[in-house]
Structure 1
Amino acid sequence: MPDAPRDDPAQLMELLSVSLGVYYGDFTAAAAAEQLTASQAKTLTVLRRGPIAMRALAETLSCDASNITGIINRLEKRGLVRRETSAADRRVTHLVITPEGERVTDTIRAQMRVTRAGLERLDAEQRRELSALLSEVFLARPDRATSCRSPIGG
């Protein structure tokens, strides 16, 4: 059976599936090396974007709020995140990554050797093209939240 054309959406979906499987395995192993679950590590990657309310974090990760509370409690106990009361609305708690959380996130990214090696095989122009394409496919969508159960981050 001949290969499907490279522009066939089904073929691209299969390639994305394989690619994300490799990425997820790399991410999960790197998180485990830092004694974190993949969900905890994904939470840190989201918090790197800036402080976020608990409810918004739950929506971003497509998680039940009770799951987020457990994840945050464990990260806070390790000193990787902290809770801050919103100055604008004292009923809202914002989550903030700590400097130690930033360090751990950097370490996880550095330990993702399979992913890094693959990206380093591309030249700068190819990486820019890949970035633009991934942004177009995934980030331009309003329903871009990831699952709490399959936290791909990094």
Structure 2
Amino acid sequence: MSERGDETDPVVADLSTLVFEVTGRLRAQFNAAAAELDLPPAQALVLTKLTPPAPMRQLAEWLSCEPSNVTGIVDGLERRGLVIRAPAPGDRRVKHVVLTGAGQEKLAELHARTHAFTKTFFAMPATDQHILRDLLARILDGPPVHPAPADPDRHR
């Protein structure tokens, strides 16, 4: 290995490739389930993050987008009667997005459809499922990975 430690570890490279492929397949199935329920993927994603209700800013951070984009997504959910905006407890200036009864039903349908796929997708012995779950949880419990700072000379 070089002094800089920048040689590629083939196992880590394989892990990265496999995790991205698994994620891509899960995302594609999620998007298909959302489409079956007449939901754009972004609206479906927001529905999954509203238990408990969440402020618009938190949704924007989670979606990695500008708050103005979340406004459009929430407007669409609101027009469908799936969410309402409500003042946050303790600070009426902050608006929380809250699932309505219809939103809770739509979310339950989305979970049922995606669960049916994931049950098939992760069809393996229960002990393997537990091991995979525990390993993934261990990775997620580790230190957060932050992107490298931008190189100021990169665009010169």
Q: TM-score, normalised by structure 2?
A: 0.77
CA RMSD of aligned residues (A): 2.0
- Partner SS, residue 92 of structure 1: strand
Counterpart mapping for 1:1-154 below 5 A: 8-48=11-51, 50-112=52-114, 113-119=116-122, 121-138=123-140, 140-142=142-144
In 1, the alpha carbon distance for the partners of 2:20 and 2:78 equals 33
Q: Output the amino acid matched with 1:38.
A: P
Between the two structures, name the one with larger relative contact order (CA 8 Å, sep ≥ 6).
Answer: 1
Report the more deviating stretch, 101-110 or 135-144. Answer: 135-144
Shift of the alpha carbon at 1:118? 1.7
In 1, the alpha carbon distance for the partners of 2:106 and 2:132 equals 26
Q: Output the amino acid matched with 1:99.
A: G
Shift of the alpha carbon at 1:137? 2.0
Change (3 A) 1:141 1:57: farther
Identity %: 38
Change (3 A) 1:142 1:12: closer
Shift of the alpha carbon at 1:143? 5.9
- Partner SS, residue 97 of structure 2: strand
Q: Output the amino acid matched with 2:109.
A: T
Tell me which residue corresponds to 1:150.
Answer: none
Shift of the alpha carbon at 1:140? 4.4
Change (3 A) 1:73 1:139: farther
Q: Which runs of 5+ in 1 are unaligned?
A: 1-6, 145-154
In 1, the alpha carbon distance for the partners of 2:72 and 2:30 equals 21
Q: TM-score, normalised by structure 1?
A: 0.78
In the TM superposition, what whole-angstrom CA distance separates every residue of 1:2-34 from its partner, at most 9, and x where no partner exists?
A: xxxxx8110011111211121111011100011
Q: Which runs of 5+ in 2 are unaligned?
A: 1-9, 147-156
What is the count of residue pairs matched by the alignment? 136
Shift of the alpha carbon at 1:51? 1.2
- Partner SS, residue 79 of structure 1: coil
In 1, the alpha carbon distance for the partners of 2:101 and 2:138 equals 31
Q: Output the amino acid matched with 2:93.
A: R
Q: Output the amino acid matched with 2:25.
A: V
Change (3 A) 1:64 1:19: same
